[in-house]
Amino acid sequence: SLCENTGVLNLNTLITGNAGGTWSGTGVSGSAFNPAGLNGVYAITYSSGSGVCQASSTQNIRVNPVPPAPGAVQGRTTYCNEPVEPLQVSPSAGTSVEWYSDASLTTLLASGNTLTPTTGITATYYLVQVKDGCRSSATSVTVQFLAMPGVPEVPDTVRYCSGQDVPAIQANGTGTMVWFADAGLTTELHRGNTYSPTGNFPASIYVVSESGTCRSSPAQVKLVQEQAITVNISPAGPLTLCRNAQLTLSSSQPSGNTWSTGAQ
């Protein structure tokens, strides 16, 4: 038996009797048999000698067709840090599938309809269909493992006074910063390194770094509202003093006061 894509066969290598004879049959040219384009059983005759001293032998050669290359490979081909899932293919009727790690098809990885990629290693896999010992051309699939971006650097807590805006929050890191209103990362608020919360915002916001299809773990920023402080100075101004006179001013807040003329 031969495969259609085996290549030209030198029939002289099959002679067990006298050499120097002639060959005949479908696909024969001189002493070469070319199975390309053939499918089925073919009678090949070898004749040696001449006249009454001539002998011949006829033998059959079966040419098996080459199955088609495997169809599209199903399964995930890009990963960040997710669990690896098997690749799978649906073979043609009567064929089996072989998976290889190299385009020259020398290193067999697995036989069957599925292959689980090696975790963390970006690689190209090659698969063929096999029937009656004949191997198809290969279909390739590349599985990529992308680098995960780091968790953004943000302040743990941002405090603000009631009635005032929340100050702008800065996130540092690689990739695109994406801000969310919930720990489940379903309600996107903003994209960019700086975010100024406005309106009705939650008690905490979350920011991740995106790079390609990969997303880092979220960093949490707590938003803490402080009670606004009202300060009164006693005695109330405007006041008129004589030169070299002294006056003691008092704050309505007993502590935490910083005094200034307002001059730059």
Q: What is the DSSP letter of 245?
A: -
Per-residue pLDDT, 51: 80
Per-residue pLDDT, 237: 82
pLDDT digits (tens, 9 = 90+) for 158-172: 998 887 888 999 999
Q: What's the pLDDT band for 264 if we cut at 50, 70, 90?
A: low
**Which helix or strand (DSSP H or E) is residue 88 part of?**
strand 87-88
pLDDT digits (tens, 9 = 90+) for 190-240: 999 999 998 888 899 999 999 988 999 999 999 998 877 788 888 888 888
Give the residue-averaged pLDDT of 109-120.
Answer: 96
pLDDT digits (tens, 9 = 90+) for 4-36: 999 999 999 999 989 999 999 999 999 999 999
Total length of the chain: 264
Token digits for 224? 């803490």
| 252 against 83, higher pLDDT | 83
Provide the phi-psi class of 106: left if phi over 0, else alpha when psi is between -120 and 50, else beta.
alpha
| 73 against 241, higher pLDDT | 73
User: Which residues lie below 8 Å from residue 46, measured CB to CB, with a gap of 6+?
Assistant: 11, 15, 17, 21, 22, 23, 56, 57, 58, 59
CA distance 259 to 106: 83
CA distance 203 to 192: 20
pLDDT digits (tens, 9 = 90+) for 122-154: 999 999 999 999 999 999 999 999 988 999 999
In the chain, the percentage of residues whose pLDDT exceeds 70 is 100
Per-residue pLDDT, 164: 81
What is this structure's pTM? 0.67
**Count of CA atoms in the C-beta half-sphere (13 A) of 73:** 29
